[in-house]
Structure 1
Amino acid sequence: MSTRTFRVTVRGLFDGLSAEQHAELTARAAEHDILTASFTPEGHLSYDLAARLSFTFRFADSGEAEENILAATARAEAAARAWLAERGYPYKNLKSQAEDRSSAPLGKRQRREAARQGG
């Protein structure tokens, strides 16, 4: 059985940030820029408070079976909630979406590389 790669996206809205919290997030905005967003095991947070109060966490996880995607999603949601709670950031409308990358179709570049390698 091969290992499956999962990508889990957890989205939500900051809700009722204090002026201090808003300033703190704004000061750290460069660390959380959408242009540097990536899927990581610990989760990567991105937001743009100047545009809207929404945020996105991106998590990378893995499992042996397709059913493991549910556990990966639960872990990602728990990690996002914990990160927000540790910092006291109020939020609402937390929603998750997960994708099993092993079943995703290959892109043009990936197909070309697979053909080059004889795959």
Structure 2
Amino acid sequence: MSEQHTYRVIVRGTFDGLSEESRERLLAEADAHGMSAMEFTEEGSLAYDRTLKHFSYRMVVVSDAAEGDEMAGAIAEDRVETALGKLGHGFKGLRSTVTDMDTMKINYKRR
């Protein structure tokens, strides 16, 4: 079994073809999905504003290090497609930004 790495992935996209029911539900829940609700979790954290144009989904993905960032991004995008599909929200143009937390260098300030 290869080494597992933990990735933080931000998947961005655009809402598309939202039904009236989807719009109403998203607007009713908009306050719970603002900037203060953004966090990286395994199930994902959806953030958007009341314009219902763009959204972002933050999630944690654990994947084989040998498969790299691309696979972590693909896994995250697949999870987002599934989650938004279950909710009945239309979307397009998913793209992801991936950070490998196991290789990330932290620069501490010296005193």
Instruction: Give TM class, smaller chain.
Output: 0.7 to 0.9
Residue deviations 1:10-57 (CA, integer Å, cap 9, x gap):
11000122232111101111221122201111111110023x510111
Asked if structure 2 preserves the Cα contact closer than 8 Å seen for 1:66 and 1:100, the reply is no
Cα distance in structure 2, aligned partners of 1:2 and 1:23: 44
SS of aligned partner of 2:102: helix
Aligned AA (2:96):
S
Unaligned stretches of 5+ residues in structure 1: none
Please state how far the C-alpha of 1:2 moved relative to its aligned partner.
Answer: 6.7
Q: Is the 8 A contact 2:14 2:91 kept in 1?
A: yes
Alignment partner of 1:13 is 2:14: yes
CA distance in 2, matches of 1:71, 1:20: 33
Q: For 1:94, what is the secondary structure of its paired residue?
A: strand
TM-score between both structures, scaled by the size of structure 2: 0.81
How many residue pairs match? The answer is: 109
Q: How does 1:52-91 map to 2 (within 5 A)?
A: 53-65=53-65, 67-91=67-91
TM-fit CA distance, 1:86: 1.1
- Partner Cα distance (1:83, 1:104) in 2: 28
Give how far 1:3 is off: 4.8
Which amino acid in 1 is paired with 2:7? Answer: F
2:103 aligned residue: 103
Moved more, 66-75 or 13-22: 66-75
Moved more, 59-68 or 82-91: 59-68
- Indicate the residue corresponding to 1:22 in structure 2: 23
Tell me the TM-score normalized by structure 1: 0.77
- The structure with the larger Rg is 1
Unmatched segments (≥5 aa) in structure 2: none
Return structure 1 stretches of 4+ with deviation > 6 angstroms. none
